[in-house]
Structure 1
Amino acid sequence: MTAVLPLAGGRGTTLAAVDLDRTLIYSAAAAGSAEGLTEGLEVVEHLDGAPLSHATPASWRLLTELAGRALVVPVTTRTVAQYERVRLPVVPRYALCANGGVLLADGVRDPAWDDWAAETAAQAAPLPELLGLLEAVAGEPWVRTVRAAEGLFCYLVAHAREDIPAGWLADTGAAVTAAGATLSVQGRKVYVVPAGLSKAAGLLRLRRLLAGEGTAPRLLCAGDSLLDAPMLLAADAAVRPAHGELHEQDWTGARVAVTAASGAAAGEEIVRWLLDRVT
């Protein structure tokens, strides 16, 4: 049985769904210069004791305020273990990991959601076949690692974004599409995800479950990548940063705003934008 409970009261009138990497949090390289930042950056994630992700202190304070006015739901391609490394200023009631394939309710994984995700992912080619498209280049000098995530999708990590061959991306993208999946490039990472297993599908399912017998909550979304695009289009209003995969493609939508800033300053601007629309 699902762990999702219908919303009650004014707090549930707005659902603010926010991507994490390169939308809310940033590596040192992706954070950009100090220009446009109200304060310096603080570390919000460590890996093996080393700083990994950053955010502005102002964005974290504003995110706390936003959580008091709306239901903030992190929506990320990260695995559960990767998500749990991030020290968010408040613990969200709900979080969607694995590109919508895993629901955490008060930090506990929902087994009914796992069943739905497995059935959805099965509509594409089997995971070993998708993984094989990436493992075919695992021995290349530009490839750092190839991994499967949560038994649902897979990804490749390159040593540097500029090292990923454009021809390989084009050929692999065509093969991925033929296999019923989606290819997305996010910095040094190349994701291959079953097409039906999307952030939008997970988020809209959560929205319906939260509504119960009542009216579905108003939906605000923020994200930067191709994997975020469907949920941005599904939102009542959305925002994307002036950087990342969507910005490189000059992607937009009728109800999608674009930040003036890029890098970590855009992350702060995004939280302000969301807060302005629930205040």
Structure 2
Amino acid sequence: MTAVLRRAAALAAVDLDRTLIYSAAAAGDAAGLQVVEHLDGAPLSYATPASWALLAELAGQALLVPVTTRTAAQYGRVRLPVVPRYALCGNGGVLLADGVRDPDWDDWATATAAEAAPLPELLGLLEAVAGEPWVKTVRAAEDLFGYLVAHRRDAIPAGWLTDTTAAASAAGATLSVQGRKVYVVPAGLSKAAGLLRLRRVLTGDGAAPRLLCAGDSLLDAPMLLAADAAVRPAHGELHEQGWTGARVAVTTATGAAAGEEIVRWLLDRV
């Protein structure tokens, strides 16, 4: 990749689900939502029209980088108002440059994930309950990590989460709950690691751009702490845990309205 950042440029790294885009259940009472993602022809994710207009404005003033736990295929379903030049998928393990997967990045991600227990062992933590009635499916993502999808968030047993969090940590991985999904991801394969690596590659020996970040989950936390300034919504995994940081703001709104507030917050700081 060629360094593309201007010396004074800002890099705005933004999580997608429950930060910028929302399921109908997570969107709250915001009115006039627009569909931004379909699955099998059915609407899946939403955002406020204002947030989409503001996101296009943000992309014109900063290097906008979506940073998501989604696979590249899942990311491709989202219709952003602009096509970002770079996107980090797979929790930082996949780099798309102009929509094309970077093979050198794949090599880095594979080596980084290998610092934790092998993927079959991590998947085994989730597959152990695959037959339970509250579990919809267990899958591997990008051959890097695993996740479980429950039928309902409130059906996931708290005791199982506690035990599996400890087992994941012992295996060199992080457990995160995002809505109905439970992720087990190698600890070194983080959004923060991928984002900081991308910034180094793009700037080379030049001055690093100001880093602005937004996210809602435990997997976003290291990225938020690494930022020069960051914001999280007043909902989601981090909010439920009362998590914050010295340079991390919290929205006043929740749901899709918080997504709009986040984009305005980022624009104010570019």
Q: Which residue of the partner structure matches residue 264 of structure 1?
A: 256
Specify the alignment match of 2:96 in structure 1. 104
Q: CA RMSD in A?
A: 0.8
Q: How does 1:1-279 map to 2 (within 5 A)?
A: 4-9=1-6, 13-34=9-30, 40-278=32-270
- What is the count of residue pairs matched by the alignment? 270
Quickly say closer, same or farther: Cα 1:161–1:110, change in 2 above 3 A: same
SS at match of 2:218: coil
Q: Say which SS state the counterpart of residue 266 (structure 1) adopts.
A: helix
**CA displacement 1:212-267 (0-9 Å, x = unmatched):** 12011110000000000000000000000000000000100000000000000000
Seen in structure 2, the aligned counterparts of structure 1 residues 170 and 53 have a Cα distance that, compared at 3 Å, is same
Contact kept? 2:5, 2:202, Cα under 8 Å? no
Consecutive unaligned residues in structure 2, runs of 5 or more? none
Q: What TM-score do you get using the length of structure 2 for normalisation? A: 0.99
Q: Could you report, residue by residue, the CA deviation over 1:61-89 in whole angstroms, capped at 9, with x for unpaired residues?
A: 00000000000000000000000000000
One-letter code aligned to 2:107: D
Code of the residue aligned with 1:233 in structure 2: it is L
Where 1:28 maps in the other structure, the secondary structure is: coil
For the 8 Å contact 2:233–2:253, the answer to whether it is kept is yes
The percent of aligned pairs where both chains have the same amino acid is 84
Local SS of the residue matching 1:220: strand
- Cα deviation for residue 5 of structure 1 reads 1.7
Report the secondary structure of 2:196's partner residue.
Answer: helix
Q: Tell me if the contact between 2:173 and 2:187 (Cα under 8 Å) persists in the aligned partners.
A: yes
Quote how far apart the aligned CAs of 1:7 are.
2.2
